[in-house]
Amino acid sequence: MMEKDQNINSDENNIKQENPKNEEFKDDKKKEKVLTTEEKNIELEDKLTRAFAEMENQRRRFEKEKDEAFEYGGFSFARETLNLSDNLERAKESLKNDESLKNSESLKKTLEHLEIIHKDILSIFKKNNIEPINSINKKLDPNYHQAMMEIEDDEKEPGTIVQEIQKGFLMKDRLLRPALVGVSKKASKKETINKVDKENEENKEKN
């Protein structure tokens, strides 16, 4: 019996000695499995990092959109409301130019009431961060002004705003409506000569 066991052990040893590569192959397989698991962990960590980064970007975008909606939510409404201010200005000019009402007490009172209403509207605009654009004597800026005509004026540098046709407005740092303006340009040579001749004639008459 003992002899039989010894033979079995001897056979196993012989198998191991004959196939040492089998043991090495098993060890390599174990190492390969460990490396693959580590790689998977690294890949998973990378995916999680990217997912968290994307979530953070989405959160920031949402916060920005929410802030803009809060600050500029009434943008379209504010733009439409500007028509009230325009109509009041037109009403005042129309009444002033009405010959039948000129110098009358009723005209004076009406204009005073319209002016009070207009000031109230501008006050409400200001409380809601809506401010008029100052244009007269400013250089034309396409970001804030829209040139509607050119007016010959040698006293002003070309491109200077000399007339405001419709007032522009800003809502905080955003353009609500551009100002419609008239800008200066150099007079033509013919008109310049005529102007000089006229001045010379006036000087002669004075002398």
pLDDT tens-digit map of 102-152: 888 888 899 999 999 989 988 989 988 899 999 999 999 999 999 999 999
pLDDT at 143: 94
Q: What are phi and psi of 73, to 5 degrees?
A: -60, -30
User: Which comes out higher in pLDDT, residue 65 or 13?
Assistant: 65
Closest by Cα among 139, 147, 150, 149 to 188: 150
Whether 32 has a pLDDT exceeding 70, the answer reads no
Which span out of 3-17, 63-77, 138-152, 175-189 was modeled with the highest average pLDDT? Answer: 138-152
CATH for 131-207 (1.20.1250.20, 3.30.960.10, 2.30.22.10, 3.40.50.300): 2.30.22.10
Give the chain as a DSSP string: -HHHHHHHHHHHHHHHHH-HHHHHHHHHHHHHHHHHHHHHHHHHHHHHHHHHHHHHHHHHHHHHHHHHHHHHTTHHHHHHHHHHHHHHHHHHHHHHT-TTTTT-HHHHHHHHHHHHHHHHHHHHHHHTTEEEPP-TTSBP-TTTEEEEEEEE-TTS-TTBEEEEEE--EEETTEEEEPEEEEEEEPPPHHHHHHHHHHHHHHHHHH-
pLDDT at 39: 76
Q: How large is the C-alpha radius of gyration of the chain?
A: 43
User: pTM for this one?
Assistant: 0.56
Round to the nearest angstrom and report the end-to-end CA distance of the chain: 155
* pLDDT band at residue 97 under the 50/70/90 scheme: confident
